[in-house]
Structure formats: structure tokens, C-alpha cells
Amino acid sequence: MTAPQMAQSAYSVTATSVRTPRGTEYDAIAKITGRLKASTTSAAASFAGLVRALHDNRRLWTVLAADVSDDDNQLPKDVRAQIFYLAEFVFQHTSKVLQQKGEVEVLIDINSAILRGLKPKGI
């Protein structure tokens, strides 16, 4: 390997590994939201696929609720309370969706609103 190739290789690893917590949250929520959308719009959509996407969305909101419950969380208390309330709503509405008494689009809308708030500048 030549010196320029080694330099490029070394810098490319560093460049790709720099991520912010906000960007990581955005990516995780975007991925799960995409799966929720696909589970309702895909021609091959199945109830099993929907259940998997709902399960992962519930896990995501469990992590978010735990994070805003931590006393060391830097968000303002009112924002933390709102996120915790949304998590409770997501849990309850997910149960309704699983019982076919609620629409998954409500969960998609909530996640999409969170994504708009987390959206990195310039995108």
C-alpha cells in the first residue's frame, strides 16, 4: 500500500466514525419509522412484519422514556415530560394497533414529528 493510500485509509476511518448522539437518535428513529411505513404500504406487507416493526418501535420509545427519566438528562423538564407522555401514548396505541383497533399511521406521524425536531441542519 502506498503512502497516499495509507493516509486516505486512516482519515476515512476517522471521518466515518464521527457521529453525534442527535444524529444517532435521528438514524434509529428514521429506520424504525421507515419499517413502520413499509409494513403498511408494501405489497408484501404482513401482520408478522408489522408486529416486528411495532415491537422495535416500542423498544425505541422505552429507551427514550428511560433517557428522559434520568435526572442527568439535560433537556428542559417540560420537554422531558412531553417525551415521556408520548412514550406512554405510543405504548397504549401500539396495543390498539395490535388488536386492530388503531391505525399505525398515528405512530408514524409521532415518529415523523420527532424526526423533524432532530433533523440535522442542512438536510
Per-residue pLDDT of the chain (123 residues; tens, 9 = 90+): 655 555 555 555 545 556 788 889 999 999 999 999 998 886 667 888 999 999 999 999 999 999 999 999 999 999 999 999 999 999 999 999 999 999 999 999 999 999 999 886 665
> Which of 118, 121, 122 lies closest to 30, judged by CA?
118
The radius of gyration of the chain's CA atoms, rounded to the nearest angstrom, is: 18
> Which of 113, 88, 122 lies closest to 30, judged by CA?
113
> Which pLDDT value is given to residue 106?
97
CB 115 within 8 A of CB 32: no
- The count of other CB atoms within 10 Å of the CB of residue 11 is 10
**Phi then psi dihedrals of residue 18, to 5 deg:** -85, 115
